[in-house]
Amino acid sequence: MIAVIMAAGKGSRLGDYTTNLPKSLLPLNNKGRTLLDYNLDILDQLNVDKILIVTGFNSKLIENHTAKNPKVKIVYNPFWNHCNVLGSLYMALDKIDDDFLFLHADTLAELDIWQMLLQANEDMVLPFERKKCGEEEMKVVLDENNMLLDITKEVNPEKSQGEFLGIAKFSKNTVPYFKEKAENFFKEGNLNLYMESAVQSAIDNKDIKISVLDILDNKFVEVDFEEDYQKAKKLFGN
């Protein structure tokens, strides 16, 4: 099992916290444990064999921070400021030769969620939290059988059943699919796309078996704003 961590962005919505520091290196406590460290610890508990970290903004800081971790391989995205998550994932695809876990460095989820994710067998497994969403969240829309219809920020919040966590499990069979879809999008000039755009294409075309995972009462936080950062420190700082 491989893990692919998205850590290329600047995190500008956190203001002074990330002026020079990649968001993934924000400390969770006064001992210097970072958002990235939390996720690396989780992946170690899951016995992941290799961890690809896609970097961009101030990559050297992440490279230095992880230099002693033998499982970590840095994949630098030189176009990090000109593309979105799908572009960063694309940079890592040629290095993926096994089933893989996908995650954002700024998304913290407790171990139970990851363990449930590993037990699922479909080609794409997407955890979500049932909740009332706003405009900003990556929303999921399900049919009456809990099959995924849409995964997008653009959908009317009233039509959604919850928020996609931003972590996922993908089989190695999806690697050529992601590569083909990403290249098609890029050739059309669509560089500012999330990974979920490729998933949406799989939903629309029924190309790949997809399942959703309801996390129920498990804890997670996506750190976008200062209030999220404070919540992350409270939930995961210990």
pTM: 0.94
Q: Are 62 and 74 in contact (CB under 8 A)?
A: yes
How confident is the model at residue 216, as a pLDDT? 78
- Any residues with CB less than 8 A from the CB of 86 and at least 6 apart, and which? 182, 185, 193, 194, 195, 197, 198
Type of residue at 42: I
Q: At what angle do helices 111-119 and 35-45 cross, to 10 degrees?
A: 40
Instruction: For the chain, 238 residues long, give each residue's pLDDT as a single digit of tens.
Output: 999 999 999 887 888 878 899 999 999 998 889 999 999 999 999 999 999 999 999 999 999 999 999 999 999 999 999 999 999 999 999 999 999 999 999 999 999 999 999 999 899 999 999 999 988 889 999 998 889 999 999 999 999 999 999 999 999 999 999 999 999 999 999 999 999 999 999 999 987 989 999 987 788 999 989 999 999 999 998 8
Q: Which fold has domain 2-236?
A: Spore Coat Polysaccharide Biosynthesis Protein SpsA; Chain A (3.90.550)
